[in-house]
Amino acid sequence: MQTILITGANRGIGLALMRQLLQDDARIFATCRAPERADALNELAQQRPERATVLQLDVNDEASIESAVASVAAKTDALDLLVNNAGIGGDDSGRILGQLTSDEVSHVIRTNAVSPLILTQACQKLLKNGDNPRVVMISSGLGSLQRTGGTSYAYRMSKAAMNMAARVLAFDSAMTGITTVTMNPGWVQTDMGGPSAALKPEESGSALRTLIKRLTPADNGKFFQYDGSELPW
Ligand SMILES: NC(=O)c1ccc[n+]([C@@H]2O[C@H](COP(=O)([O-])OP(=O)(O)OC[C@H]3O[C@@H](n4cnc5c(N)ncnc54)[C@H](OP(=O)(O)O)[C@@H]3O)[C@@H](O)[C@H]2O)c1
């Protein structure tokens, strides 16, 4: 049985991926900022109590990270998969030249790049004990340096930084034995992606599940599109 931790599992792509992963032989620590308001996630977890545990985790709060990882460690000594899914788009003060503020740009970069790295670090001991241990960073095509077009400064900077964190983690695999990959979930109909997006959350979640299942150490350091093709950095 795979042991999995996923962030931002209460809505959007995280919830869709959670539904998908529950179909596999997996025990999932489904984390979110406010479990008391995570109705859909709580309902899902109540249907599969032996498989799903809901934990509070705000990725920007190091005490919350410590507490969530301690809760996992109290139940298992190994984690096979960490999915860093939680993320924000940020508001116009992180998006539009002329309106940018240092606070907002920093907040988006912290949430999308710094915090996933700190959580990954906090999970090292559990991951090192895992079976084919993997870290999946849910990034974005907007983080690719090849992508043209303007705006979305903070978001695009944050995903490029997340990609680099994944690359460095991948180089460290010689020491850790952990495979780290980056994935673009596609343009998805969530609160972030909006209603016009190309994919339904379940389509993205299903594709990500397929991709995650076939990951091996040979994939270490790669940047995947949700369909399994590779993306340019
Ligand atoms: N949708 C797309 O088209 C698209 C495209 C490319 C990449 N992505 C990436 O896919 C991931 C999921 O996006 P989504 O579309 O599902 O977005 P979403 O519907 O806006 O959901 C974002 C999730 O992240 C959580 N989150 C935000 N800040 C957090 C924090 N500090 N600590 C813990 N959780 C936090 C949210 O929790 P709350 O409910 O508490 O706010 C929510 O669960 C993100 O990393 C995003 O960048 C999405």
Quote the CA–CA distance of 157 and 76 in Å, as a whole number: 35
User: Token digits for 37?
Assistant: 């308001």
What angle, rounded to 10 degrees, do the helices at 201-213 and 12-21 form? 50
Is 233 contained in some domain? Answer: no
Q: Are 153 and 165 in contact (CB under 8 A)?
A: no
149 vs 152: which has the higher pLDDT? 152
User: Does the structure show a pLDDT above 90 at 149?
Assistant: no
Confidence of residue 148 (pLDDT cuts 50, 70, 90): confident
Quote the CA–CA distance of 143 and 106 in Å, as a whole number: 16
Confidence of residue 203 (pLDDT cuts 50, 70, 90): very high
Atom of ligand 1 nearest to the CA of 58: 32
**How far is ligand 1, taken at its centre, from the CA of residue 84, in Å?**
10
Number of structural domains (the chain) is 1
**How far is ligand 1, taken at its centre, from the CA of residue 68, in Å?**
18
Percent over 90 (pLDDT), the chain: 98
Is 190 contained in some domain? Answer: yes
- CATH no. for residue 179? 3.40.50.720
pLDDT mean over 108-127: 98
User: Token digits for 194?
Assistant: 């909006």
User: Token digits for 78?
Assistant: 């190994």
From atom 24 of ligand 1, which residue's Cα is the shortest distance away? 86
Q: What is the pLDDT of residues 7-42, one digit of tens each?
A: 999 999 999 999 999 999 999 999 999 999 999 999
- Whole-number pLDDT of residue 204: 98
Is 231 contained in some domain? Answer: no
**How far is ligand 1, taken at its centre, from the CA of residue 214, in Å?**
24
pLDDT mean over 112-140: 98
In the chain, where does DSSP find H-type helix? 12-21, 39-47, 62-75, 102-109, 115-122, 124-128, 153-171, 173-176, 201-213
Q: What is the pLDDT of residues 39-60, one digit of tens each?
A: 999 999 999 999 999 999 999 9
Q: In terms of Cα–Cα distance, which of 35, 45, 209 is closest to 136?
A: 209
Is 199 contained in some domain? Answer: yes
Is 232 contained in some domain? Answer: no
What range does the domain containing 170 cover? Answer: 2-225
229, with CB counted inside 10 A (0-12, 13-18, 19+), is exposed
User: Does the structure show a pLDDT above 90 at 150?
Assistant: no
User: Does the structure show a pLDDT above 90 at 88?
Assistant: yes
For 36-66, letters b (16+ CB in 10 Å) and e give eebeebbebbeeeeebbbbbbbbbeeeebbe
Kindly state if the Cβ of 72 falls inside 6 Å of ligand 1: no
**How far is ligand 1, taken at its centre, from the CA of residue 115, in Å?**
13
Q: Mean pLDDT score of the chain, rounded to an integer? A: 97
User: Does the structure show a pLDDT above 90 at 209?
Assistant: yes
Pocket test of ligand 1: the residue of 5, 11, 54 to mutate, having most ligand atoms within 8 Å of its CB, is: 11
Confidence of residue 91 (pLDDT cuts 50, 70, 90): very high
From atom 19 of ligand 1, which residue's Cα is the shortest distance away? 12
Confidence of residue 219 (pLDDT cuts 50, 70, 90): very high
